[in-house]
Amino acid sequence: MYQNKSRSGESAVSIIGAGIAGAWHALLFAQAGHAVTVHERSDASMTESTSHWAGGMLAPWCEAEASEPVISRLGVRSLDLWRQHFPHTPFNGSLVVAHGRDRADFERFARLTSNHRRLDAQALRELEPSLEGRFREGLFYPDEGHVEPRRVLPELHAAISRAGGKIEFNSDAEAGDLDGIVIDCRGIAARDTQPDIRGVKGEMIVIESSEVELSRPVRLIHPRFPLYVIPRGDGRFMLGATSIESEDTGVSVRSALELLGAAYTVHPAFAEARIVEFGSGLRPAFPDNLPRISIEQERITVNGLYRHGFLLAPALAELTLGFIARGVIDNEVMRCA
């Protein structure tokens, strides 16, 4: 059925988009012996992609608070794939804290999620000494990890090349112009063929402080301004992220105030931190906020990764490969025309 075989006898595969979805697909297909070419319209800095702006948390248990079980199922599988392919990925866990007045929301979060340990103030201090005296208790999710998108995307691209794949940057591709198997991973730009995809704006701020040290992402539960603080190394922290039904890509004064104000309540030293960057990205989402692999013969579209692109991309790529190699269908995420 599939033409353009590689030397190993596997079909040639074109992938459109080198964001987190396209990059993981390219890696697994290239390693499986396919002749892979990735077309990416951005240059290697990837600033056009949503992936460039992400937090990179790999948090299937925390995310269960507000997502369907399929997100945890695929997320847990992805953790194995991150470990297997990028063994240096930090798996230091994640920490969830709340101020005393938000106790009810904290308990709700604990109830809706699993695979966590409760920490009292002393255990919290041992885990994150910078947070000493800030919170009376916390929830620790020991098996979660995080990656830094701006480091891991180039690493993925290099791994694709090592596996024999080709990446063409500054290459604006049209699925109809490509032969063989085409995997469309264009995210929000795929609206021409997937009209129900929408962008959900996420704003983030990077700050720098030498007075706070964190070893893992910290989430602050708050009824109006939930926040996470992700350590980026060299005294830098990413503050994220808003979730706004808008496709404007600016950062509003309100969002900046909320993110910075919430960070200040995590640690007062953040008040003296230097602001390094404001930015925002559009999370590609279907109406149900679930990922989808749409299959129409040799045309496959992988989209709707919403707020879970880094968490889900490895497992989704493995499912797409399983379909091409063995015809395996995952009924929860695949739609066949």
Neighbouring-strand partners of residue 230: 238
Rounded to the nearest whole angstrom, what is the least distance from the CB of residue 15 to ligand FAD in the complex? 9
- The answer to whether 62 and 143 have CB atoms below 8 angstroms apart is no
H/E segment holding residue 274: strand 274-285
Which residue from 292, 41, 22, 281 is spatially nearest to 170, judged by alpha carbons? 41
* Residues 152-181 contacting ligand FAD, CB under 6 A: 172-173
User: Closest approach of Cβ 24 to ligand FAD, in Å?
Assistant: 9
| Residue range at the interface with ligand FAD (CB under 6 A); choices 17-25, 65-73, 317-325, 327-335 | 17-25
Give the nearest distance from C-beta 9 to ligand FAD in angstroms. 28
Site string for ligand FAD, 44-83 (x = CB under 6 A): --x-xxxx-xxxxx--------------------------
Q: Is 219 in the site for ligand FAD (CB under 6 A)?
A: no
150 forms part of the interface with ligand FAD (CB under 6 A): no
Tallying the residues shown for the chain, one arrives at 337
Q: In angstroms, give the least distance from the CB of 40 to ligand FAD.
A: 5
**Dihedrals phi, psi of 166, to nearest 5 degrees:** -115, 135
The CA distance from 5 to 162, in Å, is: 19
Residue 240 is a binding residue for ligand FAD (CB under 6 A): yes
CA angle 140, 50, 228 (to 5 degrees): 25
DSSP per residue over 280-304, as a string? EEEEEE-TT---EEEEETTEEEEE-
Residue 203 burial by Cβ neighbours in a 10 Å radius (0-12, 13-18, 19+): buried
- Told to check if 186 binds ligand FAD by CB under 6 A, we report yes
Which residue, 165 or 309, has its beta carbon nearer to ligand FAD?
A: 309
* Chosen residue from 34, 134, 292, 308 binding ligand FAD by CB under 6 A: 308
For residue 231, state whether it binds ligand FAD (rule: CB under 6 A): no
Tokens of 267: 């640690």
- Least distance to ligand FAD from the beta carbon of 79, Å? 11
Compare residues 138 and 309 and give the one whose CB is closer to ligand FAD.
309
Q: Does 289 bind ligand FAD (CB under 6 A)?
A: no
Point out which span in 5-13, 15-23, 121-129, 247-255 binds ligand FAD (CB under 6 A): 15-23
Number of residues interacting with ligand FAD: please give it, by CB under 6 A. Answer: 41
Give the residue among 239, 330, 336, 244 at the shortest CA–CA distance from 279.
Answer: 239
- CA dist., res. 281 & res. 141, Å (int): 27
Q: Does 204 bind ligand FAD (CB under 6 A)?
A: yes
Report d(CA 144, CA 93) in Å as an integer.
Answer: 4
CB of 247 to ligand FAD, least distance (A): 12
H-type helices in the chain, by residue range?
20-31, 69-85, 103-112, 121-127, 149-162, 253-266, 309-326
Which of 11, 12, 13, 17 is in the footprint of ligand FAD by CB under 6 A? 17
Which member of 183, 214, 227, 241 binds ligand FAD (CB under 6 A)? 241
Amino acid symbol at 315: A
Give the footprint of ligand FAD on this chain (CB under 6 A).
16-22, 39-42, 46, 48-51, 53-57, 172-173, 185-187, 189, 202, 204, 240-241, 281, 283-284, 305-311
